[in-house]
Amino acid sequence: MALVFPVPMHSQAPVRPGTARPGAEKSEPALAPRDLSGLWFGGVGGGLRVQGKVAPMLPEAQARFNANTAELKSDRTISADPTFRCEPPGVPHIYGVGGYSIEIMPTPARILIFYESIHTFRTIWMDGRKPPEDADPLWMGFSVGHWDGNDLVVDTTGFNDKTWINGAGYPHSEALHLIERFHRADQKHMQLDITIDDPKSYTQAWKMGVNFTLQPDWQFGESFCIPTNQESFKSQIIEENDKNKPAPNTNGK
């Protein structure tokens, strides 16, 4: 759950000459489209959605997808998601884990994105560096960014293949290449378009996206992934709901 804190009440003060009267319209400051700083909320479930259709999968990816979603064949809830074992969700899956917010904090050399969902962060390097060659595969990948007009474009490679693309079970390989485009549409709204290019798993690139709303009066809650909590959720909620349903078919047919 995202935590919403009420806006504090302020006592009224006398109106000084030359100032707006209480209740008068206040003009918003001019939009700084490259200023993405602040706390942004994408909606319940993170707001991560497929744009268009998922590209057809290659045979190995299809087999992994079938295994990931075997529970659905018996009308069960998916519980095989690695995040249920408190493994990092990776990108873009992290945008869709729960109803949580992100906070963007720019610095001269890099942009930091903090994720409330698992109380973690990610670095986007803005100093022109290149991804390291022959580096160990990473859960969140290695991200470099640049500005294309007023859009922040983030290139991420160097993933391991242990995460899902989203909670629906779509897999990826270590060849995954993500391109994220952050676009501040106006003072209160930001669009994130994500291109997923994985030539070892899909026949072509496909897209996902999130629409964010700025929440200047919100604060992050403390949200960690606790294995005991995950086990309780699985046993008390998922398994309880599924106990009268047939066992999942894991042979992919």
First to last CA, the chain: 37
Considering the domain boundaries, does residue 186 fall inside one? yes
Residue at 247 is within a domain: no
Q: Is residue 194 part of a domain?
A: yes
Tally of domains within the chain: 1
Tokens of 36: 């993405």
Predicted local distance difference test score (pLDDT) of residue 10: 35
Tokens of 165: 């693309």
Residue by residue, DSSP assigns 14-30 as PPPTTSPPTT---PPPP
Domain that holds residue 204: 38-242
Specify if 177 maps to a domain.
yes
6 falls within a domain: no
Tokens of 220: 């992050």
Does residue 46 sit in helix, strand or coil?
Answer: helix
| pLDDT in single tens digits along all 253 residues of the chain | 333 333 333 333 444 444 445 555 556 678 899 999 999 999 876 789 999 999 999 999 999 999 999 988 878 888 889 998 889 999 999 999 878 899 999 998 999 999 998 899 999 999 999 998 888 999 999 999 999 999 999 999 999 999 999 999 999 999 999 999 999 999 999 999 999 999 999 999 999 999 999 999 999 888 888 888 777 777 776 777 777 776 766 665 5
Which pLDDT does position 163 carry in this prediction? 97
What tokens appear for 86 in the block? 């408190």
- Strands 49-51 and 38-41: what pairing? unpaired
Q: C-alpha angle 92/212/55, rounded to 5°? A: 40
What are the respective helix, strand and coil percentages of the chain, to the nearest 5? 15, 25, 55
pLDDT at residue 40, rounded to an integer: 97
What is d(CA 162, CA 164) in angstroms, rounded to the nearest whole number?
Answer: 7
Which residue, chain included where needed, has tokens 């022109």?
128
| Residue 141 in domain | yes
User: Using an 8 Å Cβ cutoff, are 186 and 63 in contact?
Assistant: no
Q: Is residue 27 part of a domain?
A: no
> Considering the domain boundaries, does residue 119 fall inside one?
yes
